[in-house]
Chains A and B, each alone.
Chain A
Amino acid sequence: MQEFSDREILDLFSKEDTRNYAFNMLVRQYQQRLYWHIRKMVIVHDDADDLLQNVFIKAYKGLLAFREDSKIYTWLYKIATNECITFLNNKKKRFFLPIVDVESQLSNHLENDPHLSSDRIQMKLQQAILTLPEKQRLVFNMKYFDEMKYEEMSEILGTSVGALKASYHHAVKKIEEFIKGN
């Protein structure tokens, strides 16, 4: 698939007759990376699908006012991250569940998920990630799976690079401990 630069997308989107085309290109270009990011946070496919749609709806509304302070992908990633955090917080409030119960609920879902890799280590790794606090989980996913730079993560999460490095280091230790202990 042909990759469009941010400028090309923004130029096409600014014209009314090519707006839908530009939006379609934007969706095609970023849907997979955003989906996996969301899916790793909310685990369930249907929830990830809903949130991904919300991300692109918000992008459609905000793209005309996009100031190019960052890359479009970074901006979309930030929207997706906020959507995930809001979704998980609402889930906790809706069911009056403490954080641990939501994570264990997601962990149970993992075991019954037909779309999850059958690799036992992979399953353990996902369960270990679910034991991490929300922010640490985000940091781990962004660094480990999405291979993001700390500077970029800092921009998205609004946290210093030093704090992110420390958070990632703790997350790795906890995951290794979990897998050894289980």
Chain B
Amino acid sequence: MNEDQFKLPEHAEGMQPFASPEGYFDSFPNRMAYRVQAKQQKTQIFAFDVLFRPMAITTIILFVFGTAILTFQGSETEHSENNASGETLLSYVEQEGILDELSEDELVEHLLDENVTSAENDEDSLTIEIAEELINDDFIDFETYDEL
């Protein structure tokens, strides 16, 4: 064709200027199917992220917040219980007239004595319990058996 008098043909008539790699159109539908599947999986993961991750975060926040509130309320109750025991102690001291009769040192000594006495009583009862156990225990039988 003379380029100086070039006239574009009216129709391309199947003229195809480019070519594709061999087998491209045979493999393309399969590649497309894989890509769509991958996209669907990605969408599902995304949907999980969008829907469930905020729910999980909200649940955790509510749980932490709830635990904090319960702990705070618990410590307040404990605090009031401690106050009550202090008040009881004071009323006990007042009722006994300890404050009137005793100096501060004597008061401390009195309270210490009471603690020691109760502890000694506890010890005595413990000693008795152990003694009773020993009497009933097989260990005594064993010693007797050994002497024999």
Contacts and interface: CB of A to CB of B under 8 A. Distances in A.
Interface residues of A, number: 37
A116 interface: yes
Point out which of A56, A126, A172 has the most chain B C-beta atoms below 10 A from its C-beta.
Answer: A56
B18 A57 contact: no
B18 A40 contact: yes
A126 B33 contact: no
B28 A31 contact: yes
Contacts of A57: 35-36, 39
B18 A115 contact: yes
A55 to B, nearest CB: 10
B28 A52 contact: yes
Interface residues of B, number: 26
Contact of A23 (B12, B15, B18, B33): B33
B8 A32 contact: no
A83 to B, nearest CB: 15
Interface string A130-146: 00000000000000110
A170 interface: no
Interface of B: 1, 3-8, 11-12, 15-21, 24-25, 28-29, 31-33, 35-36, 39
18 contacts: A20-B36, A35-B20, A35-B25, A39-B20, A45-B18, A53-B31, A56-B32, A60-B36, A60-B39, A121-B3, A121-B6, A122-B15, A125-B17, A145-B12, A145-B16, A147-B11, A175-B8, A180-B6
